[in-house]
Amino acid sequence: MKKYFANSVFNGKTPPPIVIDLFHFLEDGVGFIDKSQEHLYVLDLATRKADILTPGSFNEYLPAWSPDSKNIAFVSKRGQQSDRNNNWDLYAIAAQSGAKARQLTTFIGPDSAPDWDSRPVWSPDGKSIAYLQGGSPKLIEYAVHHLAIISAEGGTPRLLTANLDRNVAKPCFTTDGKSILFLIEDDGNVHLAKIPVTGGKIERFLAGRREISKFDLGRDGKIALLSSTPQQPNAVFAFNGKNLRLISHQNDQLLAQLNLATTDEISFLSKNGTEIHGFLVKPPHYQPGKKYPTLLMLHGGPVGQFTNQFMFNWQLFAAKGYVVVGVNPRGSSGRGEAFSKAIYADWGNKDAQDIIAGVDYAIATGIAAPSRLGIGGWSYGGMLTNYTIVQDHRFQAAVSGAGESNILATYGTDEYIDDYEQELGVPWKNLDVWLRISFPFLHADRIVTPTLFLGGDRDFSVPLHNSEQMYQALKSLGIDTQLVVYPGQSHGISKPSYQRDVLERYLAWYDKYLTPSTATTGK
């Protein structure tokens, strides 16, 4: 019977049903997760034969060769019910068929989790491995990542940045093996730093108003890095430890033709006196004393930050005559663990207060026209947009991209089940928490702001039904609204024509409400 069911009914013309028995069964860009695994193989270049190194029922990620090419370090989850936790550990295995993997770390939280995009790295002598260690599993993404080092044979790791209350990333040993280079995420910047392998003082190797996203170390000790500033898109630089030299010039001709907007760092106090930091972008032809239509832009995450990097959309909006305010509210990274976890299980409260304070700041400085305020963001930025327009009616236009509002209805429909149960608990035990943070949908009747909703129909990070519900609610209430769906797109819109369409729709929606011919008085 089973053979007939599999081969005769579902013969290739009709897809077979998808059978799910995993706890974590959805992933953005993938969809429903099956039980296939990602394993390590070694390919012999001469024979073109590939031998599997890690057979079994687990996934392996972030492989890193030892200096003598005899071993490979990697990360994997191999405990019981591995689909119910984020307990990634560091392993090593000899690069030959039949070898047995050796577990190096036993921390109960994540070690070099794959989504941190930071591979473990070997010391030049092959005796040690540097990697990232997360925090308590209960703190999920709010926990700070530390730089750790462990013997290649295992044992007790040493946290080199235990006293640094900032996220670190992308470790790399210096050529003499005495220090480790790494990136520090710090208050609107990402810097290149160095620390001795024995621990001690951290040296900011390359700081300033910039975001360094990648770097590599040559055998001669020179560094190539990818860096951006508010006035310069990502470019490749050579760095000798003292001087920075631009070596890629693909944008020179374009930048020479542009009159770019200036980006200022700002700070102000929130409702409870917490100091909040952010950025203010003025139009290229800014005139002191004139009030401008102003857009409050919100980042995703919520654990993430706006940085001193080139922001194409901000420059575009400024070129169209808008002031742009980008705020890093509580919940953002870059200001330490306590700042990030301040919104734990309390979304749309303290962080909404912080961005509202950002609007108050822009008005108080005389640059923002109070009657021409817009707000918008993507992912958690879309969520925070929804949270804010329920509480503050001063916004004349809003754009909510791939955001949630009815959190209770999201349980079991996206890829964040582990995070939800750690942070919020399960709905049948903590219903009050789930209902409280679902207030943008449950109190949609308080919204007066015309709102544009956007999303991809293959988004498994924040499924489209979240935007559909908010669109339907506002439509029912008679609030001007529109829903734009991008076919085949997941959480991040990747098709260039759709990316352009998103920006054009942002501008058209804001222009409709913030720059009408009757609103030219500067009020």
* Tens-digit pLDDT profile for residues 282-331: 999 999 999 999 999 999 999 999 999 999 999 999 999 999 999 999 99
Predicted pLDDT at 18: 85
Q: What CATH class does 259-404+439-514 carry?
A: alpha beta
pTM for the full predicted model: 0.90
- Confidence tier at 4 by pLDDT (50, 70, 90): very low
Predicted pLDDT at 11: 62
Whether pLDDT at 23 is above 90: no
Backbone angles phi, psi at 158, to 5 degrees: -115, 130
Percent of the chain beyond pLDDT 90? 82
Predicted pLDDT at 518: 40
Kindly state the DSSP code that residue 429 receives in the 8-state scheme: T
Domain boundaries, the chain: 38-252, 259-404+439-514
Per-residue pLDDT tens digits for 356-386: 999 999 999 999 999 999 999 999 999 999 9
Nearest to 223, CA basis, from 241, 247, 210, 211? 241
Nearest to 149, CA basis, from 166, 116, 125? 125
**In angstroms, what CA-CA distances link 222 with 122, 184, 219, 238, 301?**
19, 19, 7, 7, 34
Range name among 11-15, 35-39, 376-380, 384-388 with the lowest pLDDT average: 11-15
- Confidence tier at 12 by pLDDT (50, 70, 90): low
Q: Tokens representing 272?
A: 């409870």
Predicted pLDDT at 517: 57
Question: How far is 37 from 60, CA to CA, in rounded Å?
Answer: 8
Q: Span 263-271, mean pLDDT?
A: 96
Q: Quick one: CATH architecture of 38-252?
A: 6 Propeller (2.120)
Question: How far is 18 from 4, CA to CA, in rounded Å?
Answer: 17
Predicted pLDDT at 35: 74
DSSP characters for 272-338? TS-EEEEEEEE-TT--TT--EEEEEEE-SSSS----SS--HHHHHHHHTT-EEEEEE-BTBSSS-HH
Whether pLDDT at 219 is above 60: yes
Instruction: Please give the helix or strand (H or E) that residue 441 lies within, else none.
Output: helix 439-442
Instruction: Say which residue the tokens 């857009």 belong to.
Output: 295
Per-residue pLDDT tens digits for 206-215: 999 999 999 9
Q: Span 226-245, mean pLDDT?
A: 92
- Confidence tier at 395 by pLDDT (50, 70, 90): very high
Q: Do domains 38-252 and 259-404+439-514 have the same CATH topology?
A: no
- Confidence tier at 3 by pLDDT (50, 70, 90): very low
